[in-house]
Amino acid sequence: MNVGDLVRITYTATLEKNRYGTGESKIAMIIEGPNEAGKIKLLMSNGKSLWKHTSEVEYMPKDTGYLKE
């Protein structure tokens, strides 16, 4: 995972106060990391940034075919 890559975040098992409904997911861009703890800093589409562990996100493919779906 590199800076600028897109990842999908699913909020079904998190304890964050601003989580989304079950099964919902959001797309975010990596803006920093991964650090020594394996966490990456993500930029959400609404401008918020948050830290997530690399095991909590799904790596999006490089091709743009998923945008057409």
Q: Which phi and psi angles does 54 have, rounded to 5°?
A: -60, -25
Structure tokens at 60: 């999006």
Identify the pLDDT of residue 36: 92
Contact between 38 and 54 (Cβ < 8 Å): yes
pLDDT level of residue 30 (50, 70, 90 thresholds): very high
pLDDT for 52 equals 92
Structure tokens at 51: 């830290």
> Does the structure show a pLDDT above 80 at 43?
yes
Amino acid in the structure at residue 62: K
